[in-house]
Amino acid sequence: MSSGHPPLTSPFAIGGIDVPNRILLAPLAGIGNWFVRLQAGRHGAGMAVSEMISSFALAHGNRRTLSEMLRIHPDERVVSLQLFGSDPEVMRTAAGIAAEAGPDIVDLNMGCPVSKVVKTGAGAALLRDPGRAVAVATAAIEGAGLPVTVKLRSGLEPEDRTGIDLARRLVAEAGVAAVTMHPRPARVQHRGEPDYAAVRELATSVDVPVIVSGGLSTAESARRAYERSGADALMIARGSLGNPWIFADLAGDPAEPGRDEIEAELRWILDRAEEHWGAERAARNLRKFYPWYVERLGFSGPEADRFQRTESLDQVRDLLREARAAASL
Ligand SMILES: Cc1cc2nc3c(=O)[nH]c(=O)nc-3n(C[C@H](O)[C@H](O)[C@H](O)COP(=O)(O)O)c2cc1C
Q: Rounded to an integer, what distance in angstroms lies between the CA atom of residue 197 and that of residue 75?
A: 36
Residue 278 belongs to some domain of the structure: yes
Residue 210 belongs to some domain of the structure: yes
Residue 67 belongs to some domain of the structure: yes
Among 118, 213, 217, say which to mutate for ligand 1: greatest number of ligand atoms within 8 Å of CB. 213
Q: Domain check: are 182 and 286 in the same one?
A: no
Q: Domain check: are 239 and 281 in the same one?
A: no
Residue nearest to atom 24 of ligand 1 (CA): 214
Ligand 1: does its nearest atom lie under 6 Å from the Cβ of 215? Answer: yes
Instruction: Look at the pTM and tell me if it is higher than 0.75.
Output: yes
Q: Domain check: are 146 and 124 in the same one?
A: yes
Q: Domain check: are 126 and 171 in the same one?
A: yes
The pLDDT value recorded for residue 323 is 85
The pLDDT value recorded for residue 222 is 98
- Are 149 and 177 in contact by the 8 Å Cβ rule? The answer is yes
- Which among 28, 59, 112, 250 is annotated as catalytic? 112
Q: Domain check: are 239 and 283 in the same one?
A: no
- Are 234 and 24 in contact by the 8 Å Cβ rule? The answer is yes
Q: Which of 65, 64, 81, 77 is nearest to 19 (CA)?
A: 77
Concatenated DSSP letters of 226-279? HHHHT-SEEEESGGGTT-THHHHHHTT--PPP-HHHHHHHHHHHHHHHHHHH-H
Q: Rounded to an integer, what distance in angstroms lies between the CA atom of residue 59 and that of residue 228?
A: 40
Ligand 1: does its nearest atom lie under 6 Å from the Cβ of 194? Answer: no
Phi, psi of 18 (to 5 degrees): -80, 130
Residue 227 belongs to some domain of the structure: yes
Q: Which domain holds residue 28?
A: 12-250
Residue 2 belongs to some domain of the structure: no
What DSSP element (H or E) covers 322? helix 313-327
Distance 321 CA to ligand 1 centre (A): 33
- Are 120 and 84 in contact by the 8 Å Cβ rule? The answer is no
Q: DSSP letter at 44? A: T
Q: Domain check: are 85 and 129 in the same one?
A: yes
| Atom in ligand 1 nearest the alpha carbon of residue 151 | 11
Please state at what angle helix 313-327 crosses helix 259-277, rounded to 10 degrees.
170
Q: Enumerate long-range contacts of 66-74, CB under 8 Å, 24 or more apart.
A: 66/97, 68/33, 68/276, 68/277, 69/33, 70/97, 70/98, 70/101, 71/33, 71/34, 71/101, 71/276, 72/34, 72/101, 72/102, 72/103, 73/34, 73/35, 73/37, 73/38
Ligand 1: does its nearest atom lie under 6 Å from the Cβ of 213? Answer: yes
Please name the residues in contact with 324: beta carbons below 8 A apart, sequence gap of 6 or more: 263
Q: Rounded to an integer, what distance in angstroms lies between the CA atom of residue 62 and that of residue 243?
A: 32
- From the centroid of its chain, how far is CA 179? 13
The pLDDT value recorded for residue 1 is 46
Q: Domain check: are 229 and 315 in the same one?
A: no
The pLDDT value recorded for residue 3 is 59
- Cβ neighbours around 216 below 10 Å, total: 26
Last residue of a domain, one of 195, 226, 250: 250
Last residue of a domain, one of 202, 222, 250: 250
Residue 5 belongs to some domain of the structure: no
Please name the residues in contact with 164: beta carbons below 8 A apart, sequence gap of 6 or more: 154, 155, 181, 198, 201, 202, 205
Q: Give the CATH number, domain containing residue 201.
A: 3.20.20.70
Q: Domain check: are 205 and 310 in the same one?
A: no
Q: Domain check: are 228 and 265 in the same one?
A: no
Distance 329 CA to ligand 1 centre (A): 42
Instruction: Kindly give the parts of the chain with pLDDT less than 70.
Output: 1-3, 329
Q: Domain check: are 146 and 270 in the same one?
A: no
Overall size of the chain counted in residues: 329
Residue 131 belongs to some domain of the structure: yes
Distance 253 CA to ligand 1 centre (A): 25
Domains held by the chain: number:
2
Last residue of a domain, one of 250, 274, 301: 250
Q: Domain check: are 282 and 213 in the same one?
A: no
291 is catalytic: no
Residue 173 belongs to some domain of the structure: yes
Ligand 1: does its nearest atom lie under 6 Å from the Cβ of 103? Answer: no
Q: Domain check: are 155 and 226 in the same one?
A: yes
